[in-house]
């Protein structure tokens, strides 16, 4: 009898695991059928499909690459204030000194690594955010996805940014070197081999840690605050339901939510941004050494231009990303609503 019990236990465990796996598969298949059934026949793809995620990645690349390229002059002055506050005293003074020394061309330094780096990062950031968000929703279910949506946005955006920064780091290092080290190099083709020769492969990844410190808090605030601000705007500010708004009106709401999110992002991520600029400017420097040298107040140099830059940048990114979805006829789910099953449980 004892032998039979021992022999049956592993079999029972295997059967239970198989039942749980089959149950999860059935749930995922059922949700996919529901999504397909509720899809707009004019949509170019199905929500949660591979095509949908690829389009999200492309939209993210366009949004981030274009917007960062657009604010390159402001980024140059911001970086220079961070690494040499004695010479570049403030935003207006920084523009004057740069123009006096280098002319209009001085404001285009590092445009190529800026475009390439942030396009790659944006593709991972927006594309993988949508992937992780859908996966989280499938795993925890409709009710928990609504109740814990803030945590879901946070986990999804942080995970996506982790991979996005690995794609960004080499181009960010090259960009900062070109923009903040006078006479070092003027182009991507000139700077990249020179950096590799001097410091090896790690020249492009030595600031990855501070980059994660800057970008992951930035992105989590960017996505969480955007999603929740969008909800609040439609609930308290916009005088009619989202489905009754025109596409253009919806994009204006998107832009406003994006700008509010951008201001919060700039404040949260600025100290780490200062570290990234200093690390890429100074050969052989370390994050710990720079923290001791700069002190708390030294980490906040260039905060005003960065708030202007990141606020505008984030608003434009969300506007372009959402506009791309409209142009490509992609599904654009409305702000989340409490599921009927949860409303019934809560007696609402």
Report the CATH number that the domain containing residue 243 is assigned in CATH: 1.50.40.10
Q: At 114, phi and psi to the nearest 5? A: -65, -50
Residue 91 lies in a domain: yes
pLDDT tens readout for residues 35-53: 444 456 788 899 889 999 9
* CA 257/CA 320 separation, integer angstroms: 13
Asked whether residue 50 is assigned to any structural domain, the reply reads yes
What's the pLDDT score for residue 13? 59
Q: For residue 300, what is the DSSP state?
A: T
Q: What's the rounded Cα separation, in Å, for the pair 226 and 218?
A: 12
Within the chain, which residues score under 70 in pLDDT?
1-40, 280-284, 348
Contact of 205 with 169, CB cutoff 8 Å: yes
DSSP state of 336: P
User: According to the model, what pLDDT value does residue 22 have?
Assistant: 54
Instruction: Please name which of 243, 263, 268 lies closest in space to residue 253, comparing C-alpha atoms.
Output: 243
Tens digit of pLDDT for each residue in 132-151?
999 999 999 999 999 999 99
Angle, helices 303-327 vs 247-281, to 10°: value is: 140
Q: What is the chain's Cα-based Rg?
A: 24
* Half-sphere exposure in the Cβ direction for 89 (13 Å, CA): 3
Q: Is residue 195 part of a domain?
A: yes
Owning domain of residue 260: 46-330
Q: Cα–Cα distance between 166 and 147 in angstroms, integer?
A: 32
Question: Is residue 94 one of the residues assigned to a domain?
Answer: yes
pLDDT attached to residue 34: 43
Residue 338 DSSP one-character state: -
**CB neighbour list of residue 46: distance below 8 Å, 6 or more residues apart:** 35, 36, 39, 52, 331
DSSP state, residue 75: H
Query: Does residue 291 lie within any of the structural domains?
Result: yes
Q: Give me the number of domains the chain comprises.
A: 1
CB atoms within 10 A of CB 29: 10
Six-digit token pair at 20?
Answer: 């749980």
* 238 within a domain of the structure (yes/no): yes
Instruction: Please give the pLDDT value at position 318.
Output: 95
Model-wide pTM > 0.85:
no
Separation of first and last alpha carbons in the chain: 54
Q: Say which residues have a Cβ less than 8 Å from residue 118's Cβ, sequence separation at least 6.
A: 64, 65, 67, 68, 69, 168, 171
Rounded to an integer, what distance in angstroms lies between the CA atom of residue 51 and that of residue 329? Answer: 12
Kindly state whether residue 286 falls inside one of the protein's structural domains.
Answer: yes
Using CA atoms, how far apart are residues 156 and 149, in angstroms rounded to an integer? 10
| Residue 126: per-residue pLDDT | 97
The reply to whether 128 falls in a domain is yes
């Amino acid at each position: 009898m004892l032998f039979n019990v021992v022999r049956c236990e592993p079999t029972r465990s295997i059967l239970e695991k198989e039942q749980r796996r089959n149950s999860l598969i059935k749930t995922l298949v059922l949700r996919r059928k529901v999504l397909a059934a509720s899809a707009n026949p004019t949509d170019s793809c199905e929500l949660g499909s591979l095509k949908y995620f690829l389009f999200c990645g492309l939209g993210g690349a366009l949004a981030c690459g274009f917007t960062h390229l657009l604010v390159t002059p402001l980024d140059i002055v911001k970086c220079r204030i961070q690494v040499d506050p004695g010479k570049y005293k403030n935003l207006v003074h920084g523009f004057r000194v740069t123009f006096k020394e280098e002319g209009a061309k001085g404001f285009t330094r590092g445009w190529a690594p800026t475009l390439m780096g942030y396009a790659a990062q944006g593709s991972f950031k927006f594309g993988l955010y949508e992937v992780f968000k859908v996966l989280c929703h499938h795993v925890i279910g409709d009710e928990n996805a609504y109740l814990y949506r803030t945590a879901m946005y946070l986990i999804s955006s942080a995970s996506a940014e982790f991979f996005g920064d690995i794609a960004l780091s080499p181009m960010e290092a090259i960009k900062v070197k070109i923009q903040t080290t006078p006479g070092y190099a003027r182009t991507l083709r000139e700077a990249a081999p020179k950096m590799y020769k001097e410091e090896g492969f790690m020249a492009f990844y030595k600031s990855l840690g501070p980059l994660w410190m800057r970008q992951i808090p930035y992105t989590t605030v960017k996505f969480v605050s955007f999603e929740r601000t969008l909800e609040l705007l439609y609930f308290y500010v916009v005088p009619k339901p989202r489905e009754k708004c025109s596409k253009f009106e919806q994009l204006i709401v998107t832009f406003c939510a994006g700008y509010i999110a951008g201001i919060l992002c700039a404040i949260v991520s600025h100290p780490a941004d200062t570290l990234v600029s200093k690390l890429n400017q100074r050969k052989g420097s370390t994050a710990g050494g720079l923290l001791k040298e700069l002190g708390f107040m030294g980490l906040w140099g260039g905060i005003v231009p960065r708030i202007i830059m990141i606020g505008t940048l984030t608003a434009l990114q969300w506007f372009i990303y959402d506009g791309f979805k409209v142009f490509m006829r992609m599904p654009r789910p409305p702000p989340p609503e409490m599921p009927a099953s949860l409303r019934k449980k809560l007696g609402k």
